[in-house]
Structure 1
Amino acid sequence: MDVKELELQMLIEELESYEGRATELVSYYVPAGYELSKVIEHLGYEYSTAQNIKDKNTRQHVMDAIAKILNYLKGLKNTPENGLVVFCGNISNVPGKVDLRLWAMEPPDKLSLRIYRCDSKFLLDPLKEMIKPKQIYGLIVLDRGEATIGTLKGSRLIVLENKESWVPSKMRAGGQSSVRFQRLIEQDVHLWLKYLADEMRNFFDKDMDKLAGIIVGGPGLLKERFVNEDYLPYQLKQKVLGVYDTAYSNEYGLKELLEKAKDVLQKTEYTKEVQLANLFFEHLGKNTGLVVYGLDDVKKALELGAIDTIIISEDYKDKLKELLDLIQQTNAKIEIISKNHPEGEQFANFKIGAILRFKIS
């Protein structure tokens, strides 16, 4: 992760925390290549319209926000290459107190839409979409009795569905012939696999362009039948990257599947996090002198230019604000470690650490 992406994530989280006392927070998304003169003309119209707002305070706050945006835009020569996103409004929750602030940025990807919104919350969804993982993986672990479907988005393992099947055990019901009972079981197994294939289609059809692959696991032979026979639709079947043995078919099975499939997941955020945390623990255990931890020691190592990669637990990332200038000066890399895996949960005890380029005293 680079500093700009981290700053954008932190800004989104900050903006989400603000709420206007009325519909007085302004969000403006300007698409790439759009003329600034047209934006200024449109905001002039919105300023005139705002004069009709009944509530005196809301009217004044909206007009002040628009005026501040106009003043900012007049200092620009052109719309930035990827477009422009501006947020402005009174973020004070204290009656009678005004705290009018403006944030403006060039988005990481080209904007293709123009949106003006005046609301009690800033409009952040289009910006969030830009920092979502570009690729996802579909996951399923199954056997005759249970199945769990999930997805891996970046470093996040998300359980989409866990379901027990209706397939009876192999014990024959009283009064039924062995042949008839086996035929009924086979019908139920067929319907169970068809149900799971339908659920996979329901979950992943809409994300087909982002779906990098599907990984299948389970404790028995049913997983091979699920993949090899015509249950999965053709588009999904073509996405299957591997089939693995797991001991479970529940959420633990999904985590086990990710571990077993690390050969095909080398480039995912999840695997990178696990490998990086393990590297940190390895250096720590061998006392190589190539790791530090704790905010003060990380800051000292940054000042010496000794850090290759900063590792920080997701619950502690706000502390990076204190280090951003130093990080930019030294070109240190940053990785935020989630708690979606045991290594991340273990690293959370350290909060922040770093892998060094060289030993420091």
Structure 2
Amino acid sequence: MEKDITKHKLRKIIDKLSRYRGRNTELVSLYIPAGYPLPKVTQQLRDEAGTASNIKSKTTRKNVLSALEKIMQHLKLYKQTPENGLIIFCGNISQQEGNPDYELFSLEPPEPMSIRLYRCDQEFVLEPLREMIEEKDIYGLLILERNEATIGLLRGKKIEMLDHMTSGVPGKARAGGQSSVRFSRLRDIADHEFRVRVG
């Protein structure tokens, strides 16, 4: 298990995992998002094991069932999903038929993950991991209206809200009369002060 993973270590892990190829569709990739209940994941894996028991090829069936069992055993080590989620890769990485080598790779991503994925394929699904190490452009966002403003950052595809402010600027006066010009001027002053406060 890898904790507090840096982007450099993540690149090395991705490089290592990308070299593995299954003889058939027998390498299991499992992405569990932050906060997702582990009993649901275990139940899904049990259902997948039931489906995998119908695989015609005896060796592929054995490899998939062994990988799923190993993952379910590994999930018992956790009381709940880690804060950023959990990623597990498991399967027979041996290239020699009849000489199985079941490996399980488990890591907690460096940032919160929202993707939930289960896939059994000839290679591990690494695209979501690659997206985590991509250099992301960061843009500042400012949404400004007369009565409120929100400041945030756009990092890649994620929006992070930094601050939300309300202005306290009163709405327009409904009735006319002698005071409407004075209220309008006070509203304009409050609006200007709010814009200065926002920056």
TM range, smaller chain:
0.5 to 0.7
Of 74, 77, 86, which aligns to 2:76? 74
Alignment partner of 1:132 is 2:134: yes
Deviation at 1:134, TM superposition (A): 1.2
Identify the residue that residue 252 of structure 1 maps to in structure 2.
none
Deviation at 1:209, TM superposition (A): 6.5
CA contact (8 A) 2:28 2:91 kept: yes
Of 22, 32, 35, which aligns to 2:34? 32
Of 106, 110, 113, which aligns to 1:111? 113
Identify the residue that residue 150 of structure 2 maps to in structure 1.
none
Deviation at 1:118, TM superposition (A): 0.1
Deviation at 1:111, TM superposition (A): 1.2
Identify the residue that residue 122 of structure 1 maps to in structure 2.
124
Identify the residue that residue 99 of structure 1 maps to in structure 2.
101
Identify the residue that residue 198 of structure 1 maps to in structure 2.
none
Same amino acid, percent of matched pairs: 51
Deviation at 1:113, TM superposition (A): 1.7
Q: Deviations over 1:168-204 (max 9, x none)?
A: xxxxxxxxxxxxxxxxxxxxxxxxxxxxxxxxxxxxx
Matched position secondary structure for 2:47: helix
Q: Which has the higher contact order (CA 8 A, sep 6+)?
A: 2
CA contact (8 A) 2:5 2:109 kept: no
Deviation at 1:3, TM superposition (A): 6.7
Matched position secondary structure for 2:120: strand
Matched position secondary structure for 2:90: strand
Identify the residue that residue 144 of structure 2 maps to in structure 1.
none
Supply the distance in 2 between the matched residues of 1:3 and 1:128 (Cα, whole angstroms): 14
Which amino acid in structure 2 is aligned with residue 63 of structure 1?
L
Of 83, 95, 114, which aligns to 2:85? 83
Supply the distance in 2 between the matched residues of 1:74 and 1:41 (Cα, whole angstroms): 13
Structure 1's unaligned 5+ residue stretches are 137-207, 211-361
Of 8, 11, 14, which aligns to 1:12? 14
Which amino acid in structure 2 is aligned with residue 76 of structure 1?
Y
Supply the distance in 2 between the matched residues of 1:3 and 1:92 (Cα, whole angstroms): 27
Deviation at 1:35, TM superposition (A): 0.4
Matched position secondary structure for 2:87: strand
Supply the distance in 2 between the matched residues of 1:41 and 1:5 (Cα, whole angstroms): 32
Q: Deviations over 1:271-318 (max 9, x none)?
A: xxxxxxxxxxxxxxxxxxxxxxxxxxxxxxxxxxxxxxxxxxxxxxxx
Q: Deviations over 1:208-258 (max 9, x none)?
A: 975xxxxxxxxxxxxxxxxxxxxxxxxxxxxxxxxxxxxxxxxxxxxxxxx
Which amino acid in structure 2 is aligned with residue 111 of structure 1?
M
Number of equivalences:
138
Matched position secondary structure for 1:133: coil
Matched position secondary structure for 1:7: helix
Supply the distance in 1 between the matched residues of 2:66 and 2:5 (Cα, whole angstroms): 32
Q: Deviations over 1:101-135 (max 9, x none)?
A: 00111111111121000000000000100010012
Identify the residue that residue 57 of structure 1 maps to in structure 2.
59
Supply the distance in 1 between the matched residues of 2:100 and 2:53 (Cα, whole angstroms): 19
Supply the distance in 2 between the matched residues of 1:33 and 1:95 (Cα, whole angstroms): 39
Identify the residue that residue 23 of structure 2 maps to in structure 1.
21
Q: How does 1:223-238 map to 2 (within 5 A)?
A: none
- Across the aligned residues of Structure 1 and Structure 2, the Cα RMSD in angstroms comes to 1.7
Supply the distance in 2 between the matched residues of 1:37 and 1:103 (Cα, whole angstroms): 20
Q: Which has the higher helix share?
A: 1
Moved >4 Å (runs of 4+): none
CA contact (8 A) 2:136 2:155 kept: no
Supply the distance in 2 between the matched residues of 1:80 and 1:3 (Cα, whole angstroms): 13
